[in-house]
Structure 1
Amino acid sequence: MPRSPQHPRGGRRVVVTGQGTINALGRSAPETRAAMREGRLGIGPLAFQDVDRLSIQIGGQIRGYDPEAHFSRQELTLFDPFTQFALLAAREAVAASGVTFADPGRAGVVLGTSGGGLQTQDENYRLVYQEAKNRVHPLVVPRLMNNAAASQISMDMKIEGPTYTVATACASSNHAMGQAFQLIRSGMADVVLTGGAEAMLCFGGIKAWEGLRVMSRDGCRPFSLNRNGMVQGEGAAVFVFEALEHALARGANIIAEVTGFAMTSDASDIVTPNREGAVRAMRGALADAGLAGEAVGYINAHGTGTTVNDKTECAAVREVFGAHADRLMISSTKSMHGHLIGGTGAVELIACLMALEEGVIAPTIGYELPDPDCDLDVVPNVAREARVDAVMTNAFAFGGLNAVLVLQAWR
């Protein structure tokens, strides 16, 4: 694209100037990228109260995490783990970007989460129903509310513009990042901190998902014929989205450009994905970016490791990209860090930025047997060096809600 501040489809251009994360693969964006390059497994045995009562005992848990190393005791009375993760990721992203909020009303925060303060809920249900306590801490509601992380970031950074939370199950962070893109593109904000956070790895969080019978007991193997379900993860990733002219004016390092976004509803089934809904979302994101399918070199797949998701997504990719589907690279990093539900698209965006900036495609690890219904190049087990100029990231959520982003290299 020419270096005009205007997006060719209308509105301002939007770039990414900072990234931060904490997840099962790393405590920072550089650590996470290194783990993705190495194809490292972040999934292992879970460790928390009553885990022995669960049928599913593995997950992408953040090992050795000490909240008191990052937050005061007073802060921890207010911060559920999902908020802690979001704050750590946001602080890293802002520091890496070098952005300041001189005009706080022109900055915003848009985060995705599905469960919000689920660990706070879990602990307090235990107190009330198991231990028969008649009181809970007076700050339980501010800890567990879904907007807690977004609000705490806005207070931490003194951001006074549009700040809110999106909750659309597994598509939450893709929806949030798409909304951030649109806020800047439309002129409502100059800078938005965006991404997602989730901390569902607790007894209640796993037990609820067990009931769906979509969880694997031994590992996440997206697209592999012997896959047997998804594996949950936890953590957060936050990015600095910025208007191009704002970034250029302060001499920011630009990682990539966000160029397209689309969202659709299947309007068909609460849990089973619909191929046509995914097709419309991918086509819509390409149209919004002004790109032909042939321009995309890599797709970060939703790729949960369930049979119905993987087959549906692969069929949708084939329909959208036609013959080019055979030349596309498509991988699922959930095989490494697990499915962070409302935060998953945010962590996966790190793989997209790595592809555009470093020319390294994160692999789908755990791949063992080819599936004729998933006969795409899934970058099995080993990362690959390949220059790509445009990438797509997919999120297809329970409820039939789809959110797809397209990003392009900044060269």
Structure 2
Amino acid sequence: MESEYVTTPFGRRPMSLALLLKQRRGEAIAAGTTRNKWKLFRSVCEARAGLGVTDRALTVLDALLTFYPEDELSGEKPLVVFPSNAQLSLRARGMAPATLRRHLAVLVEAGLISRKDSPNGKRYVRRRREGGIDEAYGFSLAPLLARAGEIETIAVGIAADRQMLRGMKERLTICRRDITKLLAAAVEEAIPGDWERMSLMFQTILQRIPRAATIENLMPILEEVEAIREDIVNLLELHEKMQMASTSESQIERHIQNSHTESLSESEPGLETGQGTTTAGQADRDQQPETKPHDGGLNAHTNGGEGSGFAVRSRAGELKSFPLATVLQACPDIADYGPGGRIGSWRDLTTAAIVVRSMLAVSPSAYEAAASVMGPETAATVMACILQRGGCINSAGGYLRDLTRRAEEGEFALGPMLMALLRAKSPAVSRAGT
């Protein structure tokens, strides 16, 4: 064990309180502490940035360790090495004396070694008669052994940070590749989207990547790039869902047309201006020829001389009670779910309705039943109305099934539902309806 008296520096080097504290910490070696000097040196190299030493200073420390005769550093044995400047310079790869002195001072300042100066400032050893060391003057490795645990902890932390930084760089590389190829695929396949803006935003973020990247400055950049990739993937998935919904809607429409051939000529009340549903013209309608569908919208049958009109079902079983523009005016929210964020036709409306149906957790069977009873376009209009009134409806699926049941019983009128939405949006429409 090293002696515990204070060693003041030789010559004109001053003594300081910090130097005294470092000497005391260097002597505070726990009993039984041992380390392999080369493994400990490897930990020092790993923790270099945290210890505040340079690579040249580590070269000098490496040279000092070669003068310690054993591989194990132990607090129970003398830890002072006493090479001359000439020998130390040779083992430090021929380092110049002035440079050698400077880096020795760096090691002392970092608390990895301490000086144990002789009365005349020379480095030497005084041995006993049996050959053992009685007193040695030079550089003590005791601080290195005393801080072994701290050094190893710093080394582990730095290694973990380096591993994390490597992982972040890998994620960033994969993200850059994904975004580049996804944008190219979207543009090549003419998928609707603001791809030029996303590409410009992506390039702007990449310009902020520093040459010497750290965890602190790379993390926000990685988060932004991953957010852009997620936005692109979501847009592409939404486009795919719309394509699948359009295909599903076409299959539903064909199923309805094939399974209701016996009731093609039947008429059901679809729009009324009064309360309830009237059946006074039912016998007359049964005897009249089949009503041919009109491409533009409303097929009406008047009852006597009254002005109340009833929308009747066309040969395809569809109810087009109002123009598409009126439906979109009453239910503007549905347009966000159309192909490309807009609705330009009844097919676009039915496609958007299927997307909304899934979003509102309406079962496919409930929607298919509504399309079967009301017609695909009327069912799509009803879904648009449910979406518009979403805050007032607790269960969209239950509400749609109730409307389907009422439609089967001839008690459902689409007109009042649309007019209520129009009145809620426009005071002028409200006054016109009173």
**TM band (smaller chain):** under 0.3
Higher relative contact order (CA 8 A, sep 6+): 1
Taking structure 2 as the reference length, what is the TM-score of the superposition? 0.18
**Rg larger in structure:** 2
Q: Which has the higher strand share?
A: 1
Taking structure 1 as the reference length, what is the TM-score of the superposition? 0.19
